[in-house]
Amino acid sequence: MKPKEVVVIGSGFSGLSTATHLAAAGYKVTVLEKNEVLGGRARKFNSAGFTFDMGPSWYWMPDVFDRYFSNFGKKTSDYYDLIRLDPSYSVIFGQEDVMEIPANLDQFKLALEKLEPGVSEKLDDFLEQAAFKYQRGINDLVHRPSVSLTEFLDLKLFRDVLKMDIFQSMSKHIRKYFKNEKIIRLMEFPVLFLGETAQNIPALYSLMNYADIALGTWYPKGGMHKIIEGMVTLAKDNGVVFRNNAEVVKIMADDGKAKSVQLLSGEEIAFDILVASADYHHVDKHLLEPKYSNYSDKYWDSRVLAPSSLLFYLGVNKRLKNLLHHNLFFDEPLEPHADAIYTNPRWPEKPLFYASVPSITDATVAPEGMENLFLLIPLAPDLEDSEATRNKYFNIIMSRLEKHTGQDIRSHIVYNRSYAHSDFKKDYHAFKGNAYGLANTLRQTAILKPSLRNKKLTNLYYSGQLTVPGPGVPPSLISGEVVAKEIIKNTINK
């Protein structure tokens, strides 16, 4: 029997995951990538002797990566070497007010005790409930395709969900355990990976604290793109074919099925099954004819998006002081309406920001004696990002960075590239220039997310950060697996 031919649009984590699972199951899979470099938002580039990861820089939930590769009889160590960071990261609360987060739990407790005596027992209780949510959520809930409410009509699941605090905000949940404001900000930080602030994220996601504190922060030597390189190698070994510089501009459909895609070059490619791992909104509103769209413009405009970002990729010709691999700058007080930090359509006056210096851990990403510096400011989507605005915010955060390190950095920059909303739109067709997809609010969880299936075309599926299970690298890996299993279930012996 001739294997069914599958086209996957996009080579990010979810696209690679979908493609490899399907190829391993006997499908003939071709991945079409718009850009020159594979990896989607996890691309890399090299310049002036520096190697920059363009997107994700945190390696959390190592068990999810282990599970991914084990699905194909492989291990992460077959493709890249992992280093556990210790300290995991630093939090800068102010001048000479820095908290380094140790990898060891007992040492972490000692650090918290200095801020809030007696907090260790509360942390144990907090981590116990977070561990339950993690095990139930990551090993079960996020693997459900969420195409029908019946998937969740289970008495045991209902009881477990009640224990997961889904109707309470993370902000209130954390304050049940901790009183010190620095500890609270520290515990609220991980949910930023889910695209919203703690006031708007369900307490279910304290599972992220378990990932942070119990499972640790890791780094693949050579950079995050090493994961992509490993996944591409694995995919090719399973027969996946990749085509770079192959942008899809139209999906042709007829008789209730998607039939072919048209590339920017004019070439047309037919298939039996199509998986859109590109930006869901772009596919829904721009690649499909309106009659095949899943959702209206009103629907999309009502979605709460995860933030966009202003990024700076810097090469510095000297070593930097007082920084770790990961550094969170909470050195300014939260502005009014901080609960809407990602949805207020304005630029913040005193932005939070994040600095990553991978060259502290990995000498291969920068020339000898130099630093690879990655800066990120989280911002609301759909902002205008002129060159003048980028320069203004560059100088704002550089002043704070130089104050913290006690060094002049700006005059030692030998490479500088910025990246923001307009770049996300140009490179990824990102809806409103978002960087992380759809926020994991309660009203945008599970069956309330955009469906992984097209409602009018029986052979069109979606994977990635705008559908289930949500934003982030581990969820994107899982998204690809979930979609592949749905395709296999719906097409086997048909």
CATH of the domain at 230: 3.50.50.60
Q: Residue 98 phi/psi, 5° resolution?
A: -125, 135
Q: Which of 144, 111, 136, 130 is nearest to 215 (CA)?
A: 130
Query: How many structural domains does the chain have?
Result: 2
In a shared domain, residues 179 and 137: yes
Report yes or no on 392 lying in a domain. Answer: no
Radius of gyration of the chain (CA): 22
Report yes or no on 425 lying in a domain. Answer: no
pLDDT confidence of residue 340: 52
In a shared domain, residues 240 and 197: no
Rounded (5°) CA angle 319-321-323: 110
Q: Calculate the alpha carbon distances from 440 to 174, 179, 201, 203, 224 in Å.
A: 17, 25, 7, 11, 24
pLDDT confidence of residue 8: 99
Report yes or no on 331 lying in a domain. Answer: no
pLDDT tens digit at each of 494 positions of the chain:
789 999 999 999 999 999 999 999 999 999 999 999 999 999 999 999 999 999 999 999 999 999 999 999 999 999 999 999 999 999 999 999 999 999 999 999 999 999 999 999 999 999 999 999 999 999 999 999 999 988 988 878 778 877 899 999 999 999 999 999 999 999 999 988 787 889 889 999 999 999 999 999 999 999 999 999 999 999 999 999 999 999 999 999 999 999 999 999 999 999 999 999 999 999 999 999 999 999 999 999 999 998 899 999 999 999 999 999 999 999 988 665 554 555 567 899 899 999 999 999 999 999 999 999 999 999 999 999 999 999 999 999 999 999 999 999 999 999 999 999 999 999 999 999 999 999 999 999 999 999 999 999 999 999 999 999 999 999 999 999 999 999 999 997 55
In a shared domain, residues 148 and 188: yes
Q: Where among 167, 195, 214 does a domain terminate?
A: 214
Q: Where among 149, 181, 214 does a domain terminate?
A: 214
In a shared domain, residues 157 and 113: yes
- DSSP tag of 415: E
Report yes or no on 335 lying in a domain. Answer: no
Strand 308-316 with 413-419, pairing: antiparallel
In a shared domain, residues 236 and 176: no
Contact (CB, 8 A) for 82 and 219: yes
- DSSP tag of 4: P
Report yes or no on 236 lying in a domain. Answer: yes
In a shared domain, residues 250 and 210: no
3-state secondary structure of 132: helix
pLDDT confidence of residue 162: 78
Report yes or no on 66 lying in a domain. Answer: yes
| CA–CA dist 244, 15 (Å, integer) | 13
In a shared domain, residues 119 and 209: yes
pLDDT confidence of residue 344: 65
Q: Which of 66, 27, 53 is nearest to 491 (CA)?
A: 27
In a shared domain, residues 111 and 210: yes
The full length of the chain comes to 494
Q: Which of 157, 17, 7, 145 is nearest to 473 (CA)?
A: 17
Report yes or no on 14 lying in a domain. Answer: yes
| CA–CA dist 119, 99 (Å, integer) | 16
Other CB atoms closer than 10 Å to residue 453's CB: what's the count?
20
Report yes or no on 152 lying in a domain. Answer: yes
In a shared domain, residues 66 and 28: yes
Q: Residue 471 phi/psi, 5° resolution?
A: -75, 160
In a shared domain, residues 205 and 226: no
Q: Where among 161, 191, 214 does a domain terminate?
A: 214
For the residues of 53-118, what is the DSSP string, one character each? Answer: E-S---B--HHHHHHHHHTTT--GGGT--EEE-SS-EEEEEETTEEEEE-SSHHHHHHHHHHHSTT
In a shared domain, residues 193 and 236: no
135-144: b (≥16 Cβ within 10 Å) or e: ebbbeebbeb
- Residue numbers of the domain that contains 110: 106-214
In a shared domain, residues 240 and 291: yes
